[in-house]
Amino acid sequence: MRMRRKKNIDARLAACAHLLADKPEEPISTSQVDFDFEGDICLEIGCGKGGFAVRCAAENPTMCFYAMERVPNVMVNALERAEREKDTRPDNLRFIIGRAEDLAEWFAPGSLSVLYLNFSDPWPKARNAKRRLTARKFLLTYFKLLSEDGTLYFKTDNVDLFNFTLDELKALDRAPSYVTYDLHHSPFAAGNIMTEYESNFVNRGIAICALAVSARQIHF
């Protein structure tokens, strides 16, 4: 079902335009494109309401965060949250209205230190497998954009999508540095920042699957 267009969305987006990154003429290779300081560049793909990105930015003031969302109707919530909480964090967060398919137009190879995929659309029907953001064509793009010491983090409540992701990584001969089917009852929960979806799932007793994988080639 298509999401109903929010009221006054154009005006609301315009009010937060200073938080939106402009499409670069050349892919971003340094954080000084959008920020007044140098720092490791982190990207969240599919930022939803923005809670994760805003908190990450606040807790990591020396890092530069980009949060991507393809639907302006969704992005406006994240922008407005970031604007409301601007006094609680440094100016180290920008938002991108765009698609994962176009990442190479935004970021140069090796430019990202961290990439987060949080609760991506599972696209459950087999015919849509290539649209999943952990399909191997996307994974190859992520590994290209991550620096040699960069890391991809993935969280989901969908076990089928998680197993699909593990299979795709195995097809690429990439071994995760950790894998858990119950993040919040694992050693990897330390320092975890929850998204709005995640908080809801945890409150309902739904286990969260998570993994991390290095851009550096680690073989199965």
* Element (DSSP H or E) covering residue 117: strand 112-118
**How is 126-179 classified by DSSP, letter by letter?**
GGGGGGSTTSHHHHHHHHHHEEEEEEEEEEES-HHHHHHHHHHHHHTT---SEE
Record the pTM: 0.93
pLDDT at 1 over 50: no
Check if the beta carbon of residue 173 is closer than 8 Å to that of residue 219: yes
Active site residues: 121
Q: How far apart are CA 151 and CA 173, in angstroms?
A: 16
Encoding tokens for residue 81? 């949250």
**144-171 average pLDDT score:** 97
177-208, pLDDT tens digit by residue? Answer: 999 999 999 999 999 999 999 999 999 999 99
CB 3 within 8 A of CB 74: yes
Q: What is the CATH number of domain 9-214?
A: 3.40.50.150
The residues, any chain, with a CB within 8 Å of residue 188's CB and separated by 6 or more, are: 178, 180, 210, 212
Q: Provide DSSP, 51-99.
A: HHHHHHHHH-TTSEEEEEES-HHHHHHHHHHHHHTGGGS-S-EEEEE--
Q: By three-state DSSP, how is residue 35 classified?
A: coil
Structure tokens at 173: 């001969």
pLDDT (average), residues 132-145:
97
- The predicted structure's pLDDT at residue 2: 47
Domain spans, the chain: 9-214
Quick: pLDDT tens for 57-81.
Answer: 999 999 999 999 998 999 999 999 9
Whether the CB-CB separation of 97 and 124 falls below 8 Å is answered with no
Distant-in-sequence, close-in-space partners of 119: CB < 8 Å, separation ≥ 6:
46, 48, 155, 156, 157, 195, 197, 198
The overall average pLDDT reported for the chain is 93
Amino acid at 152: L
164, 176, 156, 181: which is closest to 217 by C-alpha?
Answer: 176
